[in-house]
C-alpha cells in the first residue's frame, strides 16, 4: 500500500467514472488508491459511491464563494490536505482558474466525452448526432490552460449507430470512459505517463494520439 499513488478525485454528479477508479483500485496490484473524493455539489450521487467504498469525501460548494478564484483557492487547500500525487477530474463540471491549473500542472487529468480536439465543451453527444458524425468516443488528457485542449493521453472510439439518441450514445461512451480512465491513472501511478515540456509521454516516448 505504501508506494501506491494517492489520488484525489473531483466530481459533480453521478460518479460512474469515480466508480470505475474505485473498482480498479480494489485490485491489490493496482498502483493507485483514492485518498478522497471532493464534490462541488452536495447532491452528487458519486458521494454515496465514495461513502460505500469507505473513502473520505467532502463537499465544497462553489455557491459559498464570491468568485472562481476564491473557490479554487479553497479547493486547492482542501485537495492538498490529502497530499495527492494526482488529481483526477471525473465529471467535475467547473472551469478551473489559471492558478489551479498551474498548481497541479502535470498531475491533473480529465476525462472528456468526445474524441478531442473535436467537441470540446458541453452536450457532446447531441452535437455529434446533430452533425451526423459516424465516430464518437472519449478522451483522457492532461489539463492545461486551454479548456479541453491539453495533451491527449488515451482515446477510445465508439461508432454512432442509426437510431442512437444522446442517451444511448452517452451510455456506450461511458463504457469506454470506464476502461480508459483507470488505464491512464495506472500508467501515471507507475511513473510511465508524464507531461514533459507540454507533451504527454509514455515510457519516455511521445504518445501517439491515435485511438486505442
Ligand atoms: C462523463 O461522461 C465525463 O466524461 C463528462 O461528464 C460525465 C460524468 O459522468 N465530463 C465532462 O463533460 C467534462 N467536461 P460520471 O459522473 O458518471 O463519471
Atom number of ligand 1 nearest to Cα 14: 16
Position 8 scores a pLDDT of 99
Which residue owns the Cα nearest ligand 1 atom 5? 91
Ligand 1 center to 206 CA (angstroms)? 26
pTM here is 0.97
DSSP state of 47: H
Position 89 scores a pLDDT of 98
Residues near ligand 1 (Cβ within 6 A): 11, 13-17, 46, 90-91, 111-113, 174, 177
10 CB-contact burial (10 Å; exposed 0-12 / middle 13-18 / buried 19+):
buried
Position 94 scores a pLDDT of 97
Position 2 scores a pLDDT of 58
Tell me which of 62, 103, 112, 125 is the catalytic residue: 112
Atom number of ligand 1 nearest to Cα 12: 16
Ligand 1 center to 29 CA (angstroms)? 26
Determine whether 112 is an active site residue.
yes
CB 139 within 8 A of CB 115: yes
Q: Phi and psi for 206 in degrees, rounded to 5?
A: -60, 135
Ligand 1 center to 90 CA (angstroms)? 6
Ligand 1 center to 13 CA (angstroms)? 8
Q: pLDDT averaged over consecutive 10-residue blocks of the chain (212 residues)? A: 87 98 98 98 98 98 98 98 98 98 98 98 98 98 96 98 98 98 98 97 85 48
Distance CA 77, CA 86 (A): 15
Atom number of ligand 1 nearest to Cα 113: 4
Position 3 scores a pLDDT of 78
Q: Domains plus CATH for the chain?
A: 5-206 (3.40.50.170)
DSSP helix/strand/coil, 199: strand
Position 211 scores a pLDDT of 47
Amino acid at each position: 500500500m505504501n508506494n501506491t499513488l494517492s489520488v484525489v478525485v473531483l466530481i459533480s454528479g453521478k460518479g460512474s467514472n469515480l466508480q470505475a477508479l474505485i473498482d480498479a483500485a480494489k485490485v491489490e496490484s493496482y498502483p493507485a488508491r483514492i485518498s478522497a473524493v471532493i464534490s462541488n455539489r452536495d447532491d452528487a450521487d458519486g458521494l454515496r459511491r465514495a461513502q460505500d467504498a469507505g473513502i473520505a469525501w467532502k463537499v465544497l460548494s462553489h455557491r459559498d464563494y464570491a468568485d472562481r478564484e476564491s473557490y479554487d483557492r479553497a479547493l486547492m487547500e482542501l485537495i492538498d490536505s490529502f497530499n495527492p500525487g494526482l488529481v483526477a477530474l471525473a465529471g467535475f463540471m467547473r472551469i478551473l482558474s489559471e492558478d489551479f491549473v498551474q498548481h497541479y500542472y502535470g498531475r491533473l487529468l480529465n476525462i472528456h466525452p468526445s474524441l478531442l480536439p473535436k467537441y470540446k465543451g458541453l452536450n457532446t453527444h447531441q452535437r455529434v448526432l446533430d452533425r451526423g458524425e459516424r465516430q464518437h468516443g472519449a478522451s483522457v488528457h492532461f489539463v492545461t490552460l486551454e479548456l479541453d485542449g491539453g495533451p491527449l493521453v488515451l482515446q477510445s472510439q465508439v461508432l454512432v449507430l442509426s437510431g442512437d439518441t444522446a442517451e444511448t450514445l452517452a451510455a456506450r461512451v461511458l463504457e469506454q470512459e470506464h476502461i480508459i480512465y483507470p488505464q491512464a491513472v495506472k500508467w501515471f501511478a507507475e511513473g510511465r505517463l508524464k507531461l514533459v515540456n507540454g507533451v504527454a509521454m509514455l515510457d519516455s516516448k511521445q504518445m501517439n494520439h491515435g485511438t486505442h
